[in-house]
Amino acid sequence: MKRATLFAITCSLLLFSLPLFAQAPQVVNTSIASITNGDLSYFTDAVFTPDAKWVIAAASDNNICVYNNSGQLQTVFPAHNKPIRKIALTNDGNLLTVSEDKSIKLWTPAGNLLNTVNAHGKAINSITVSHNGKYWVTTSDDKTAKIWNCNGVLVQTLKDHDDVVNAAAFSPDDNFILTASKDNTLKVWTINGEMLRTFVKFNASIQSVQYSSDGRQILVSAGNFAYLLSQSGKQLSVFSGHEKLVNSAVFSPDCNFVLTASDDNTIKLWNLNGTLVCTYMGHKGGVNGAVFSATGQYILSNSLDNTAKIWAVQAPADIAESAAAPAQTIYAVPVGNPGGNAATRNSAQQPPTKEKYTEDTDNQYKGPIFSSYDVSALDKAANKPKVWAVVVGIAGYNHVQSLKFTKDDAYLMYAFLKSPEGGALPDEQISLLIDGNATKNQILQALQKTSSSAGLNDAILFYFAGHGINTGLLPIDYDGFNNVLPYGEIYGYFQKSKAKYKLCITDACYAGNFSEYASRSSEDVKNMLEKYYGAIDNASGGTAILMSSKAQEKSVEYYGLRQGVFSHFLMRGLKGEADTDKDKLITIVELFDFVETNVRSYTANAQSPSLFGNFDVRMPVGGVR
C-alpha cells in the first residue's frame, strides 16, 4: 500500500455532547455561582479542573486564586511580579502561568514553584499545552511565538508577524501550530518552526484561535465577530451578534457548538452554522474569556467586573451535588490532584454518517484521451503565463507490490493538462514518465528542467502516482533499500524555482478516471483559456502540496470504481464539480474542499486528504467550459 506521508493532521474527538436546544435563542440571566475577587482586582483568566470541582483563576493583582465550584475561596498565592495574563493545566495536573513580567512559571498542584523561565522580551499573552503534553507554545507583545519542551527549554522561535501575537493553538496531532496576531493575520507553522502559509488578512486584530478536535476546522475571533474556517482557510460560518470586541471563541468538547465572550458584557452560545442558541447575561463588565467544563455541561467566564461566573448548559444537578459536599483537599492546597488524572484530550472520533454515493461506472477509464484545439491566438503575448508539468505513473514495481491503476492515473492527468480545462499545454511543457522511464535520476532531471524553465509568471506542477513511504516517494528503480526520492529533495526544486505557482499532487490511491471532453466551439475554448491564464496572472504566487491521505493512513484500491477514491474525486473536481462559486475557474481551495469532503465521506473517515503550503487561496488549478 502507498502512504502519503508529507505532514499530517490526525483526527480525534472528545466524546462529550451538549443538550439539544430549542430553535429560539434563549437568554440566561442567572449563573449557578458567582466568584468575587474584591474591589481592587479583576480576573484575567480562569479554568476548571478536569472534574469541574474547582476553579483556578488568575487575578490582575498578580495572584492565583482557587475556589470550589460554589464560589468559596480556598487559597490564594502570589505568582508573579506583574499581572498574570493566561494560565493552563499540563497533562500531569501542574499549572502554568504567564505574565506581563515576561516569565513562564510552572507550579505543582500544591502551589509549589517548580520552574521559572524568562521567556520573552515583552509581556506574554498566552500559553498553550500540546495535546501530547510534550510542548508549550507562548505568544508575546514582542511579536513572536515560542515553542518550549515540557522542561521549559526553548525549541523554536516563530518570527514572521508584524505586531503583537495574541494567541496560538496546536493541531490535534501536534504537528502544526496556528498563531493569531494584532497584525490581522493567522499563520500556520510546523512544529519544527517552518512557516507554511499566511491566511488572507482579517479586518481586525485576531484575538483567539483554536483547531477543532479533528483538525478540519479553525475557529478565530477578530473584531466583533468570530469565524469558522476550513483548514484551508475557506470561511464556513460567521458568528455575528456581539456589539463589541470578541475576546475569545472556543469549541464545545464535541465541537458541535461555539462559545464566544465579548467586551459587550455577554457570552453567547452558537451552532456551527452561526445560529445563536443562547446569550448569557449577568456580567457588568467586559468578559475576557469563557470555557467549557470537560463534559460540556458547564461554562466558566471571567470578567473585568471582578467576578468569574459558572453557568449551567443543562440541569445543574451534578454541580449542585458537588457544591453541597464537604470541602476536600483541593488544587494548590496540601497534596494530590482532586481531578484525578489530567483531562483526556484525544479520544476516538466517531465517524460521520457515510453519504450515499453512486458509482460513475459509465466514466471508467478506457485509455488516454487527448483533445486538439487551435489555441495559437492565445500565444501572442510574450509574457503570457505558462504551466510546466512533470507527470509520473508507476505500476510495475519489482521490489514492492505492483499497482493496478497508477499508470492510468498519469495518462489521465496528462490528458487533463492537454485539454483546455487543464491549460492546453504543448508537449514541450510536459514531461511524462511511465514505469521504466520513471527512475530516480530521470524524475530528478525532469524536475530540474521544469523548475529552471519556468519563468516568474509561470506555474509548475509535479504529479506522482505510485508507492510512497515515510521518507519519500518510490521510483521504479527502488530496490527495497536504495533510490528513495526524498520529499525534501522534491520540495527543494520547488523552493529554487522562480515560478509564481508550485503545485504538488501525490496520489496515494492507485486510481484514475477521466472521461472524454465534450466537444465545444473554438471560441468557447479560447475564452475559457484566456480566463484561466488570466487568473494565474492576477493572483499572488505560492506553493501548495495536496496529499491523498494523512501520515499513517493506508489508501486502498476500489475495484468497483476501477480506481482509488482520491483520484476519482480529484478528476471529478477538476472536470468542474469543484467549481462551487460557478465562476468557471477551479481554485486549489475549491478542489481540496471538494476532494476532502467526498473522500472522507466515501471511506467513512478512513482516508483524509491534506493540503498545506504557503499559497494564495485564489490559485487556479483548472477552468470550466
Domains and CATH numbers, the chain: 384-514+522-623 (3.40.50.1460)
- Report whether pLDDT(514) > 60: no
With CA atoms as reference, report the closest residue to 251 among 232, 237, 270: 270
Q: What is the pLDDT of residue 539?
A: 58
How far is Cα 33 from Cα 57, in angstroms, rounded to an integer? Answer: 14
pLDDT score at 495: 82
Closest CA to 369 of 442, 312, 419, 435: 419
For the segment 242-260, the average pLDDT, to the nearest whole number, is: 96
**Residue 167: beta bridge partners?**
180
- Grid cell digits, residue 619: 490559485
CA 255 to chain centre: 14
Higher confidence at residue 262 or residue 518? 262
What is d(CA 224, CA 391) in angstroms, rounded to the nearest whole number?
A: 47
Spell out the residues 6+ positions from residue 347 whose beta carbon is closer than 8 angstroms to its own: 12, 13, 14, 15
Residue 376: is its pLDDT beyond 60?
no
* pLDDT value for 379: 39
b/e map of 469-487 (b: 16 or more CB within 10 Å)? eeebbbbbbbeeeebbbeb
When mean pLDDT is compared across 190-204, 358-372, 480-494, the lowest value belongs to 358-372
pLDDT at 587: 86
Residue 134: pLDDT over 90? yes
Cell of 455: 519563468
CA dihedral of residues 503, 508, 510, 514 (deg, nearest 10): -30
| CB distance 77 to 111 below 8 Å | yes
pLDDT classification of 19: cutoffs 50, 70, 90: very low
The answer to whether 508 and 2 have CB atoms below 8 angstroms apart is yes
Which pLDDT tens digit goes with each residue over 51-73? 999 999 999 899 999 999 888 88
pLDDT at 5: 27
CA distance 356 to 430: 37
User: Which amino acid, one-letter code, is at 382?
Assistant: A
Cβ atoms of 184 and 220 within 8 Å: the answer is no
Contacts of 359 (CB under 8 A, 6+ apart): 560, 561
Instruction: Provide mean pLDDT across the span 115-141.
Output: 97
* Predicted local distance difference test score (pLDDT) of residue 620: 76
DSSP string, 440-495: HHHHHHHHHHHHHH--TT-EEEEEEES-EETTEE--TT--SSS--EEHHHHHHHHH
Confidence bin at 397 (pLDDT 50/70/90)? confident
Q: How confident is the model at residue 349 (pLDDT cuts 50, 70, 90)?
A: very low
User: For 593-605, how does the pLDDT look when each residue is reduced to its tens digit (9 = 90+)?
Assistant: 998 898 888 888 8
Quickly state the pLDDT bin for 346 (edges 50, 70, 90): very low
Q: Give percent of the chain with pLDDT exceeding 90.
A: 42
Sheet holding 206-211, edge to edge: 206-211, 217-222, 225-230, 235-240
Task: Output the pLDDT for position 561.
Answer: 55
Inform me whether the pLDDT recorded for 173 exceeds 90.
no
Predicted confidence (pLDDT) at residue 274 exceeds the cutoff of 50: yes
pLDDT in tens, 442-468: 999 999 999 999 888 888 999 998 887
pLDDT band at 291 (very low <50, low <70, confident <90, very high): very high
pLDDT of residue 197: 82
Q: At what angle do helices 406-418 and 565-572 cross, to 10 degrees?
A: 10
Which residue has better confidence, 304 or 17? 304
**pLDDT reported for residue 127:** 98
Cell of 100: 506581563
Cell numbers at 485, concatenated: 526520492
> What is the spatial distance between Cα 458 and Cα 500, in angstroms, rounded to a whole number?
5
What per-residue confidence (pLDDT) applies to 530?
A: 54
Whether the predicted model's global pTM rises above the 0.85 cut: no
Q: What's the one-letter identity of residue 415?
A: A
How would residue 400 be classed by pLDDT, with cut points 50, 70 and 90?
A: confident
What average pLDDT does the segment 254-280 reach?
96
pLDDT of 40 reads 67
pLDDT higher than 90, residue 245: yes
pLDDT at 271 over 90: yes
Mean pLDDT score across all residues of the chain: 78
Q: Which residues contact 386 (CB under 8 A, 6 or more apart)?
A: 429, 454, 455, 457, 458, 459
Q: Is pLDDT at 341 greater than 50 in this prediction?
A: no
Most confident listed range (99-108, 316-325, 533-542) = 99-108
Q: What is the mean pLDDT of residues 378-386?
A: 51
Record the cell numbers describing residue 251, joined without a space.
Answer: 469549541
